[in-house]
Amino acid sequence: MIHSLKPDASAFNLYGATMIGNGINCVIPRLGEIYKALFLGRWEKLSRSSMFGTVIVERVLDTLALWVSVLASVAIYSGNLYKDISWLKPAIVFGFLILFLGIAFIFILIWQKEKFYKILLNIVKKIVPKAVDKLSYIFDMLIDGFASIKGFKNYFLTISLTVIMMLVYGLNSYVGFYMMKMNEVQTVSYGMAWILMTIAAFGIVIPTPGGTGSYHFIVIFVLTQLFFFDEEIASAYALLTHVISYLVFISSTLFFIYFINNRNVSEGNKKETLLSVLKFNPDEK
């Protein structure tokens, strides 16, 4: 998405901004999405509206990928997943409804920009005049974000890379089984890891710092109630996998801010910190 806005954008900067966002989310939920956009915008000299727009689109795509992955879990689970997890079906239905309405709104905004834009802004102007500029800015963000994936090549790459990303997430969970030697307790499979990964993701979606508490609760529930592992080894699995991701994200945040700043200074650019990126630059939109 970023390469469609800036073809020579640094993959290292992209990765660094992503890891910084993950690290910030470990401390304050959802704030990392803002910092990811701010750092990347400053490092690549791209507008804030386009950066926030791509982050919003990324969240929409991630949510859609999660919901499709959960449906795949329902299909491969040997029992009735909706029955064994009573809250799952309502969550899927509600999530798909919100997602559908959100995507429909954005597509209408893009395809019928002139008409829709003017009508909505005129309505808001009559009700809350001061909110017009902010609403216009939000619309610009959404349009910039979705414009970043237009074209067959970008659609293909976005879908393909999303599928690969989800498969790697499942592989992470699968490797965790062997780290804890759970394969010596009973037979484990990638399918089990996939189901665990997709259901545990709801614990990350819940706005707690890094999924602390909610992730552990859901992982322990899935391992003990669906796959019948002992609660002790299930708790150890949840703790180990969470600690590993937590340490990687936090250390990566510190590393990338330090390393990229040093590189930028050597190239004649200024340092960017958690406070400096929040300051509005007149050159940014």
207 falls in which pLDDT band (50, 70, 90)?
Answer: confident
Global pTM?
0.84
The length of the chain in residues reads 285
Has residue 146 got a pLDDT over 80? no
Does the pLDDT value for residue 166 go beyond 90? yes
In the structure, what pLDDT confidence band is assigned to residue 113 with cuts at 50, 70 and 90?
low
State how far the Cα of 86 lies from the Cα of 225, in Å rounded to an integer.
12
pLDDT of residue 182: 96
What pLDDT score was predicted for residue 216?
Answer: 94
Is the predicted pLDDT of residue 151 greater than 80, yes or no?
A: no
Using CA atoms, how far apart are residues 38 and 7, in angstroms rounded to an integer?
19
pLDDT for res 48: 81
Q: Which is more confident, 179 or 51?
A: 179
Predicted local confidence at residue 132, as pLDDT: 67
Reply yes or no on whether the pLDDT at 249 is more than 80. Answer: yes
Average pLDDT value for residue range 96-108: 81
The span from the CA of 38 to the CA of 162, in Å, is 23
Mean pLDDT of 7-34: 90
Is pLDDT above 60 for 282?
no
Which region among 11-15, 77-81, 208-212 has the lowest average model confidence (pLDDT)? 208-212
Mean pLDDT throughout 176-185? 95
For the chain, percent of residues with pLDDT exceeding 90 = 44
Task: State the pLDDT confidence band at 117, using cuts at 50, 70 and 90.
Answer: low
In this model, does residue 280 exceed pLDDT 80? no
Question: Is residue 17 scored above 70 in pLDDT?
Answer: yes
Q: How high does pLDDT run on average in the chain? A: 86
Q: State the pLDDT confidence band at 219, using cuts at 50, 70 and 90.
A: very high
